[in-house]
Every structure is written in structure tokens, then in C-alpha cells.
Amino acid sequence: MAAPIKVVVTGAAGQIAYSLLYQIASGAVFGPEQPVYLHLLDIAPMMGVLEGVVMELADCALPLLVGVLPTASPEDAFRDVAAAFLVGAMPRKEGMERKDLLSANVRIFKEQGQAIDKVARKDIKVLVVGNPANTNALICSKYAPSIPKENFTAMTRLDQNRAQSQLAAKLGVPVKDVKNVIIWGNHSSTQFPDASNAVVTIGGAEKPVPAAVNDDEFLRNTFVSTVQKRGAAVIAARKMSSALSAAKAASDHMRDWFLGTGDRWVSMGVVSDGSYGTPKDIVFSFPVTTANGKWKIVEGLTISDFARKMLDATGKELAEEKQDALDVCKD
């Protein structure tokens, strides 16, 4: 057995964490040989609820879970942690403008960046789930200058999983037989779910998804808008936002980052180096592969005129969000 690692989940009393904590503690993220010590961060008024979560974790009697620290202190929560799931954020309330939400949440991620800088392991891997996830990840990184920028990522894996599942349904194949779907850009309605490089296995042979689907109109319109609006569709049906699938996606993201993808592509929001003509220094979702705990953007893909427009639109939104966030941080 390896030595235990400390893993923090913020928003630990919330609904995504409720599914995520079990996945981490049961070995689904860091592997069946890796014990974990869970740090659970939430705000002071939620400490009572968090106590119930701690009780339930104990009652799961999980062999890999060696300890749990519930806390409302960011510095206690981030001390010596190797992996961080930043889920906690203020939810959007009725009548709230996107800018108000950004302003409230950016402050949280500034404070958490500062705490990470001070007390976390310098090789910490950070996954931001709380919205606006891409820009929150950027701000968190900015306020943790002693940690490499590459160690801050934002979650677009739920969008990728949704896209993969839509294509599998369209083609009538199991979801595992579809790979290399890409989510470009922001985890917002401007994201670009792109099936143009995706591959499907049918009858033992690999085939490009566009040829197998053979319906350009579907891939450019119905597919894209179904994935973009899937979160809203879940809210309309469940009266609550996606939680089980969001937790599964967060597990997928962190597991692939720690344990590697092989030649399979996954989408992650990472700090842009300007690849594919995107603005530099924003957190943009790209197709990546991972090995030895590091991600690498998939290079050399052809960008069609249609894709160019989509990438530019989501890149522009992210550049604007970044500016708004930097303005908030100045106050």
C-alpha cells in the first residue's frame, strides 16, 4: 500500500460532493492501492450538515479512507494536499446577473488560491468545478504564484461525457465505443462540442464519426445545442442541477490526470498557450492526453471555418470574463 495522500473537496456539504466523496474514498479516482485522507471544506453555517456527511463516510467503512477533516478554514483545508476538487461556489440565485455571480465566486477562488499558495504541496493538482469554472481556475492560479500554472484545470469533462453519450445514442453503439470527442472553450453555452475528429468502433473496425453519422446538419446543430443545453434540461426535469454526473466527471478528470490516458483524448480547461489561435493566458478547454501526471494539448488538428467561428466566440467570451474577474480582484 502507498502512503496516504491528502485530498481536499470544497463545497463538501453540497450535492456534487455528496456523490464525489464516495468515489474518491472508494478508490475510483486514485486507484485501489492509494489510501486517502479527506479534507472537507465548506462555509461555517454548513458545519452541522457537514458533520452528517462525516458520519456517513464513517458508516461506509471504506478501507482506503484513513481520515477525515471537516473544516471552514481554507488554510486547514489546503494544508499539504496533493489534489483539490474546488466544487464549492455560490449558486446562481433568481434575478442574479452572470456578472454578479462571477463577482461573488471570483472572490472565493482568489482567497482559496492564496491559501493554496501558502500551505498546499507545490505539486498539487487542482480541478475547478464551481462556476464560472474556467475563469475561477485562472484566478485561483493567479493568486497561487508558487504553484505551476499547469497544475490548475477546469472541468469540461461533464460536457465531454454528455457529447460522447449523445453520439453513442445516435449511432446505436455502447458509449465506450465512441472516443476523441472534443469540448473546446468555456464551460458555458458558448462551448463547442466537436465530433469532427471523433472515432467510433463498429463491428470491430474504427470509423470516423462524421462518416458514420453521415448527417452534417445533426452534428453542427442538434448535437451541439443538445450538449450545450443539457445542464438546463437536467435542471428542468430534476428541479436541481446535475450532481451525480458532475461528480462522475470530476472523478474521470482527476483519475485521468493522475493515472494517464494513453492515446485517448480527454477535454480539460487548461491555461492556453495560444494553441489553435486561442487567446493566451485564459483557461480554455482543449483536447489533451496525459502521462506521468502532466497534460499535453493534442496538436495538429485541422480547424474548419465552422470550427474557427465557434472557437473564436468561446475564446472571446473567456477573454471578457477574465477582464471582468481581474476588475473584481482589484477591489
Q: Which residues bind ligand NAX (CB under 6 A)?
A: 10-11, 13-17, 41-43, 46, 87-91, 108, 129-131, 133, 155, 158, 187, 241-243, 246
Query: 242-279: string of b/e by CB count within 10 Å (b at 16+)?
Result: bbebbbbbbbbbbbbbbeebeeebbbbbbbbeeebebe
Closer CB to ligand NAX, residue 112 or residue 180? 112
Cα–chain-centroid distance for residue 146?
A: 22
Q: How far is the CB of 242 from ligand NAX (least distance, A)?
A: 5
Enumerate the active-site residues.
187
Closer CB to ligand NAX, residue 171 or residue 243? 243
Q: How far is the CB of 272 from ligand NAX (least distance, A)?
A: 17
Tell me the residue number closest to ligand NAX, measured at CB. 14
Please state, in angstroms and rounded to a whole number, the distance separating the CA atoms of residues 106 and 138: 9
Grid coordinates representing 139 are 484566478
Q: How far is the CB of 50 from ligand NAX (least distance, A)?
A: 8
Q: How far is the CB of 281 from ligand NAX (least distance, A)?
A: 20
The strand pair at 205-208 and 294-297 is best described as unpaired
Q: Cell 452534417 sits at which residue? A: 216
Closer CB to ligand NAX, residue 10 or residue 135? 10
Please state, in angstroms and rounded to a whole number, the distance separating the CA atoms of residues 254 and 38: 15
Please state, in angstroms and rounded to a whole number, the distance separating the CA atoms of residues 109 and 141: 9
Closer CB to ligand NAX, residue 14 or residue 287? 14
